[in-house]
Amino acid sequence: MDQEKNQECCPKFDPAPWDGKVFEWEGKKFIKDKVFTLFYMPINFGAVIKRMVAKTEAAGAKTSDNLCLSDHTSKWNMDLYLAVDKDVPGAENVTLSGKFLFKVYEGPFKDTGKWCQDFENYAKEKGMAVKKMYMWYTTCPKCEKKYGHNYVVIAGEVQS
């Protein structure tokens, strides 16, 4: 039991390198997959992540900072973008380019609406307009309990 409790499923997240930071990406590589959601609640998130990681490992690719952006496209679907260091055969390879503002939040998922509003205000205070928002769920529920934190990062594609 103790061994299972101490196993690392999700690496411990450090908010410092991300909170309030702006990154300019030019052709940043990701692989993309889809998660079925039921009224925005992910149903097969874990299975999709495992599939994406397996394809990445099979290709000899590495993930970048365990960065995995979620795009809730409807109440029935969420697109996942896993950052990788090279193209991955058998996966949908995509790139993202632009200026991205990151802000870290902590708390229950029910606060997502408040976080999104706060992020919009935060970007405005910085003189930026949000074009598109992505969510980065940094740990699974088991690891959130293990680490005692539920960090969620909003990554917004922004323009000045």
**Domain of residue 90, residue span:** 21-159
Q: Looking at residue 110, what DSSP letter applies?
A: G
The pLDDT assigned to 6 comes to 52
**Predicted model pTM:** 0.92
Nearest one of 44, 127, 49, 106 to 83, comparing CA atoms: 49
pLDDT tens by residue, 125-159: 999 999 999 999 999 888 999 999 999 999 999 99
Whether residue 112 is contained in a domain is answered as: yes
The pLDDT assigned to 4 comes to 46
Whether residue 15 is contained in a domain is answered as: no
pLDDT tens by residue, 47-80: 999 999 999 999 999 998 999 999 999 999 999 9
CATH of the domain at 131: 3.20.80.10
Domain tally, the chain: 1
Whether residue 6 is contained in a domain is answered as: no
Q: Looking at residue 62, what DSSP letter applies?
A: -
**What type of residue is 150?**
N
